[in-house]
Structure 1
C-alpha cells in the first residue's frame, strides 16, 4: 500500500470486529447520501460486506476497501476506497468518514509519517 499514514490516521485492512461500527455510520443517511449503498445497513449486512473485503487483494487492479483508524485510538473512524486501474498507474480514491469524524481534516491530511 502507498504510504498514506499520517500523524493522526492510518489505513489498515478491515476486520470482522469493524462490522458494528461500519453498520452504524453507513446507516446514517447523511453518510450514504452520495454513496452507492442503501440505508439502513444492519449488522448482518455489514458482516457480509467486511467478509467480502477480507478476500480482496490490494496488490492488483480493481477495488479495495481499507478501514481508517486514528493512530492513537484503535477503532474505525471511516473507510477508504481505492480503485486502481490496470497497470496500477492511476487510481481513484475516496474516503468516507464516520459522522462524528467529519470536518476534522482527516480526508485531506497530507503530512505522511513512517
Structure 2
C-alpha cells in the first residue's frame, strides 16, 4: 500500500470519527432542546396558572382596599355629621336648661314676693 493510500485511509477514519462526534453533539443538542421544551411546558402548565391566580388575588385585594377606603370615607362623613348633631344637641340642651333655670328663678322670685 502506498503512503498516500495510508494517508487517505487515515484521513477517512479521522473524517468518520469527526462526523460521529458531530452527530453526537447534534444528539446532545436535540436532547437538551427537548429538556428545555419540557421545562417550558412545565412552566406554562404549572407556574403560569399560579401566577395568574396570584395576579387575580392581587386585583381582588386592590378592589377590596378601594371598597374599604370608600366605606371609611363614608364612615368619616357620618361621624362628622354625628359630631355636629351632638354639638347642636348640647347647645339646645344648654339653651333649654338656661331657659328653665331662668323660668325657675322667676317663679321663685314671684313666690317669694307673694309670700312676704
TM (normalized to structure 2)?
A: 0.15
Higher normalized helix content (fraction of residues)? 2
TM (normalized to structure 1)?
A: 0.16
Higher normalized strand content (fraction of residues)? 1
